[in-house]
Structure 1
Amino acid sequence: MNYLFRTLLLLSLLTAGLLPEAVAQRGGGNRQERLSQLENARVAYITQRVALTPEQAQKFWPLYNEFTAKRRDLNQRLRQLRPSQTDALSEQQLRDNFSQSFKLRQQDIELEKDYFDKFQRVISVRQVAALFLAERQFTREVLKRVADRQGRGPAGGTDD
């Protein structure tokens, strides 16, 4: 999920045409405005791919935003458990980190299952499937565009 969040963020930057500015102004400029534009691009992409009606969108987006905030929190907590240097940790600390990591990943799965059910109350199961597919496509697109801009050619990879 952490990977998904990063790629969603990158694709949003690309969609909004802001990636070069974001990289060039890292730490500077109006960060809040760029993040707002990113969010708008992500919303537009998913709305179009899932074919949300205005009525569905009104109910769906608060639910989806709640889901992504919870997922983001889990991913942040998971990142904190991944030390850059493992040599400084005892074997017991490493075991504890792995155990906590597994618990957080299980919570992520439970969160996704819970929101799958909640999404179905607002949109059709076919639209829920389109949502998860759109997230993956969004990820692939951002990776491809980043690779193209860096002169590496199309990003390789596999379909999910």
Structure 2
Amino acid sequence: MKIKQILPIILFLVSFSFYAQNDKTDEKREKVKAYKISFLTTELELTSTEAEKFWPIYNAYDDKQFELKHQKMKTYLQRLDEDNINSISEKEAAALLSQMENTDKELYLLRVKYNSDLKKILSSKKILKLKKSEDDFNRKLLKQYRDKAGKD
């Protein structure tokens, strides 16, 4: 597998464990979100008109994506721990797999709508730059997480 295919999975798992801590979840998420906004603002060099239209779309997309990935997938992962997998029936496993596939479809359709909305306000070049900047941000965040975990 290529790193671009593995990275989202790693980031999901890292962010899942990162956000699994109840007390400071919202605070940590807000810090990461503020850091991401600052990073993307610098990288994208948006005009004031672009920024005014971009951030509401981006934030709505980011929130919905977070909800789908972290809340729905959290439920799935809880049901997939070692004990549950061995004890669920084939019918229950098929139903869970179907739910997971539906969440994947929702994420895909959300991304399609997001890209369509972005094309109305940003050039294709800036959209590609956004994608690269998000990947760079995720790598940077993962590196910070690794560095912090290595010190503990």
TM-score by length of 2: 0.75
Task: Verify: 1:39 aligned to 2:30, yes or no.
Answer: no
Structure with more helix by fraction: 2
Q: Match of 2:73, as an amino acid?
A: L
Q: Name which of 21, 42, 54 aligns with 1:60.
A: 54
Secondary structure in 2 matching 1:103: helix
Unaligned runs of at least 5 residues, structure 1: 11-18, 20-24, 153-160
Are the counterparts in 2 of residues 51 and 127 from structure 1 also a CA contact under 8 Å?
A: no
CA distances 1:96-124 after superposition (whole Å, capped 9, x unpaired): 11111112101211111111010111111
Secondary structure in 2 matching 1:52: coil
How much is the aligned-residue C-alpha RMSD, in angstroms? 3.1
Residues 108/43 of structure 1: CA separation in 2 closer, same or farther (3 Å cut): same
Residues 2/74 of structure 1: CA separation in 2 closer, same or farther (3 Å cut): farther
Are the counterparts in 1 of residues 11 and 142 from structure 2 also a CA contact under 8 Å?
A: no
CA distance in 1, matches of 2:31, 2:13: 16
Residue in 2 aligned with 1:125? 124
Greater Cα offset, 33-42 or 73-82: 33-42
- The number of residues matched between the two structures is 138
Residue in 1 aligned with 2:87? 88
Deviation at 1:34, TM superposition (A): 5.3
Secondary structure in 2 matching 1:58: helix
Task: Verify: 1:27 aligned to 2:26, yes or no.
Answer: no
Are the counterparts in 2 of residues 81 and 101 from structure 1 also a CA contact under 8 Å?
A: yes
TM-score by length of 1: 0.71
Q: Match of 2:68, as an amino acid?
A: L
Are the counterparts in 1 of residues 76 and 96 from structure 2 also a CA contact under 8 Å?
A: yes
Deviation at 1:5, TM superposition (A): 6.1
Are the counterparts in 2 of residues 7 and 139 from structure 1 also a CA contact under 8 Å?
A: no
Deviation at 1:40, TM superposition (A): 2.0
